[in-house]
Amino acid sequence: MTRKQKRLAGIGGMVGVVALAVGLVLQSLSTSIAFFNSPTDIVSNAPVPTQRIRLGGLVEQGSVERGADSKVRFRVTDSVETVPVVYAGLLPDLFREGQGIIAEGTLGPDRVFLADTVLAKHDETYMPKEVVDDLKKRGLWEDGKGMVAPKGGEPVAMTGAGS
Amino acid sequence: MIVELGHFALVLALALALVQSVLPLIGARVGDARLMETGSTTALGGFVMLALAFAALTHAYVVSDFSVLNVAENSHSAKPLLYKITGVWGNHEGSMLLWVLILSFFGALVALFGRDLPASLKANVLSVQAWITVAFLLFILLTSNPFARLDPPPFEGNDLNPILQDIGLAIHPPMLYLGYVGFSIAFSFAVAALIDGRIDAAWARWVRPWTLVAWVFLTAGIAMGSYWAYYELGWGGWWFWDPVENASFMPWLSGTALLHSALVMEKRSALKIWTVLLAILTFSLSLLGTFLVRSGVLTSVHAFATDPTRGVFILGILCVFVGGSLALFALRASSLEGGGLFAPISREGALVFNNLFLTTACATVLIGTLYPLVLEVTTGAKISVGPPFFNLTFGPLMLPLLFAVPFGPLLAWKRGDLLGAAQRLYFAAGAAFVAVLFVMAITQGAAILSALGIGLAVWLMIGSFVDLWGRASFAKAGLSNGLRRLSGLPRSAFGTAIAHFGVGATLLGIVAVGAFGTETVTTMGPGQTVHAGGWGVRFEGLAARDGPNFTEEVGRFTILDGASEAGRIESARRLYTARQQPTTEAGISTHIFSQVYVALGDAVANGGQTVVRIWTKPLVTLIWLGCVAMAIGGLVSLSDRRLRIGAPARAKHRAARPVAEPAE
């Protein structure tokens, strides 16, 4: 091979691999990423059932039911709206009522959220960042104080950590 | 008092690092040997100071001195001694101190073992190394001082996060940091070469062993971390594509590429500019990892406590070092002479192929890790990129690379013979084919992809040794001659074969667990047996027990293989009293390469029943044993004469020549 051909072969190979990678990345970004939603987002603007979403909020007090079929049902709330969640699988050790969690999955046609992953951080003073940001935006969270009552509403019976 | 001494030592280390970051550099500029020599002295002195500071902090932990804020926040007097010591780096401040200690340790190693380096190169390297030390010491002293006092001191500490109270913490972070931070040497060499505007094969011969050392530790550290997460979190998963895992995996990918490209540079003086760039990128990715883990910008299972000022500070360090080194690269790279071209089908070509795929795969991991951040900053939308993304992008990019691995060592330098290499791989291909058919047969054709995956793994494992087999040529030379030939081969050939074999073993484990592992979640009462994946698991009962700083409820299980007993395990739910934090202690029964993994779920109200999660994990330990093989391959390669003696030996060699000709 001449010098020029060698160089062309090299550049061609590189362009090919990079193009392949770009194609794969674009393809999977369009199908496999999950958007973060609060319960209010989901209630007001329901996503299509195929869209993967991350639902973040607090586990409502008294809402956790463990069924005989090893499925766990609970409700996730941002103190304005609540979304029922069904999850079959292993809950993190720190999953408890009042704790901030993130559930990942899809919204079923009956408006029940089918979670395939539930994340609760391994630290009792932790709130998922997305949940805190979301609560802050709507004045339900203050740095150093945790959950605060929505203005003009009932006090929230939740102990969001973070103090 | 000891605490104040530690703090003082830390400040002294900063002063020494400041001197080290300037004087040797000036010395190298003006050619003053004495100024250049200050680099070694300050590097050693700085290391001693940091070791003292670290010892002082460790002492505060061991004696549970709760007047130190860091100790009060992360330790407890009832904690076992081992975890008091490992607790030193189980938190942000202490782990930063360990980070810098290791950084200066590597600097001291260059000072000690770099006697034969060209003086100006050594001076530049040590100065660059000191820049990093200065930046991180400032970071520690200004934003994360581990020696801050607390007044009045509390009677009892907050305890270490129970998840971290494990032998894993003793091994995983130090190993990982030795890897991460070890790449700083390659970085310093690259920047020094750019400052000098000169680079040659001897440079590569120097950089490769340092990179290899860092790579070996990083490989072992990542594998250890993966196994730790596997048994400690109780989720039965071994890799989560968590941003923090990615943060350690990206430097590993580019470090692996660097190892291979440095080989081309050493042997053929080609790919110089690319190798320098890779050295810079690898350490930049290590810095990026440090930033991601400690700034709290990402939601992750193991990010440290967050503090915005720290994040901004590390972002600053990241920008200065990455931006600065890349700018220097842009300015000076053209002054480095490029290497010659070579045929695409050749050893060099194979190594370029390796680099191309590894760096592209690394880039996709980078995109997946940073894309949520970028999108949030630019559009405000919050997304998460999870395992599906990485499986869809990283996986397909790895396949051609893994397929090509056995070809690499069989191709000659300059101009290789692909057909000849393929002919030598007949046996490996046949074995892979048989493996595919075998898996297809036992699954009745249900698992085509898994069968192909296992075939690929077998291809890799056997193909890795074809080079050694060929060079020994047992068939022609007979057994004893063949063995003699083998013993005469350079150790690096064995290292390559063992490491590549390890890649195959890891792949085999990954595919087997993914395809044939089972997961069962059920409620069990005492005496009940559940069958899963060919194993029986009998629940024997629950019992309460007290540990030193926790209480636990222990479930005892008997593992049955058919009717016979194959092992007994305990699986527990623990409550750590100081933090009132529950953890799951999984029970794992290992049978050669396969494991049965049992985790206790929640207790059910009636009659000693409990939710139990049982995973069967065929060949799962191969995932980590393969990594161990990779690390061993690296060590074997490191013991090669060529690297041990390396470039500088020629000077000694020449001096020794009048006396005796070296035996080789």
- Secondary structure, 3-state, B116-139: CCCHHHHHHHHHHHHHHHHHHHHH
Q: Chain B: give the shortest CA distance to residue A158, in Å.
A: 19
| pLDDT beneath 50, residues of chain B | 303, 645-664
Contact indicator for B172, B228 with CB cutoff of 8 Å: yes
* A-B contacts (CB, under 8 Å): 121
State whether B161 and A94 contact (CB < 8 Å): no
Residue closest to B304 by CA, chosen among B93, B157, B512, B474: B93
Q: Identify all chain A residues contacting B361, using CB atoms and an 8 Å cutoff.
A: 21
- Kindly state the DSSP code that residue B663 receives in the 8-state scheme: -
Q: Identify all chain A residues contacting B386, using CB atoms and an 8 Å cutoff.
A: 32-34, 104, 117
pLDDT of amino acid A128:
61
Assess A29–B contact: CB distance below 8 Å, yes or no: yes
Q: Identify all chain A residues contacting B388, using CB atoms and an 8 Å cutoff.
A: 28, 31-32
Residue closest to A66 by CA, chosen among B604, B7, B55: B604
- What is the CB neighbour count within 10 angstroms for residue B528? 14
Q: How many CA atoms lie within 13 A of A129 on its CB side?
A: 19
pLDDT of amino acid B503:
97
State whether A128 and B299 contact (CB < 8 Å): yes
Q: Chain B: give the shortest CA distance to residue A91, in Å.
A: 8
HEC assignment per residue over B198-238: CCCHHHHHHHHHHHHHHHHHHHHHHHHHHHHHHHHCCCCCC
Q: Identify all chain A residues contacting B341, using CB atoms and an 8 Å cutoff.
A: 3, 6-7
| Residue A68 binned pLDDT confidence (cut-offs 50, 70, 90) | low
Burial B233-253 (b: 16+ CB within 10 A, else e): bbbbebbbbbbbbbbbbbbbb
Assess A4–B contact: CB distance below 8 Å, yes or no: no
For A7, the closest of B341, B392, B584 (CB atoms) is: B341
CA dist., res. B47 & res. B52, Å (int): 9
- Indicate the average pLDDT of chain A: 74
Please tell me which residue of chain A has the smallest CA distance to B342: A6
pLDDT at position A146 over 60: no
Assess B523–A contact: CB distance below 8 Å, yes or no: yes
CA dist., res. B119 & res. B29, Å (int): 11
State whether A20 and B344 contact (CB < 8 Å): no
Its pTM stands at 0.89
**Alpha carbon separation from B589 to B542, B571, B598, B612 (Å, rounded):** 18, 10, 8, 15
Q: Identify all chain B residues contacting A10, using CB atoms and an 8 Å cutoff.
A: 344, 352
Q: Identify all chain A residues contacting B614, using CB atoms and an 8 Å cutoff.
A: none
Q: What is the dihedral of CA A118, A121, B171, B176, to 10 degrees?
A: 90
State whether A29 and B356 contact (CB < 8 Å): no
Q: Tokens for B179, please give them.
A: 């890897």
State whether A90 and B522 contact (CB < 8 Å): no
Q: Chain B: give the shortest CA distance to residue A150, in Å.
A: 23
pLDDT of amino acid A104:
85
- The B residues from 298 to 317 touching A (CB cutoff 8 Å) are 299, 301-302
Residue closest to A91 by CA, chosen among A103, A107, A75, A77: A103
Q: Tokens for B585, please give them.
A: 């202690």
State whether A35 and B163 contact (CB < 8 Å): no
CA dist., res. B354 & res. B494, Å (int): 19
Residue closest to B194 by CA, chosen among B126, B121, B132, B286: B121
Say which amino acid occupies B601: G
CA dist., res. B335 & res. B447, Å (int): 54
Chain-centroid distance, C-alpha A115: 10
| Residue A157 binned pLDDT confidence (cut-offs 50, 70, 90) | very low
Any residues with CB less than 8 A from the CB of B324 and at least 6 apart, and which?
none
Assess A28–B contact: CB distance below 8 Å, yes or no: yes
CA dist., res. B185 & res. B107, Å (int): 8
Structural Rg of chain A based on CA atoms: 22
Assess A94–B contact: CB distance below 8 Å, yes or no: yes
**Alpha carbon separation from B336 to B119, B190, B277, B278, B327 (Å, rounded):** 19, 11, 12, 15, 15
Q: What is the maximum alpha-carbon separation in chain B?
A: 88
Q: Tokens for B648, please give them.
A: 């500088």
Q: What is the DSSP annotation of A46-79?
A: PPPTTS-EEEEEEEPTT--EE-TTSEEEEEEE-S
Chain-centroid distance, C-alpha B652: 35
Strand A65-66 with A82-88, pairing? unpaired
| Residue A156 binned pLDDT confidence (cut-offs 50, 70, 90) | very low
Q: Chain A: give the shortest CA distance to residue B323, in Å.
A: 24
- Kindly state the DSSP code that residue B320 receives in the 8-state scheme: I
Q: Chain B: give the shortest CA distance to residue A52, in Å.
A: 10
Residue closest to A139 by CA, chosen among A80, A77, A75: A80
Assess B431–A contact: CB distance below 8 Å, yes or no: no
Assess A33–B contact: CB distance below 8 Å, yes or no: yes
State whether B396 and A24 contact (CB < 8 Å): yes
Assess A7–B contact: CB distance below 8 Å, yes or no: yes
CA dist., res. B584 & res. B605, Å (int): 19
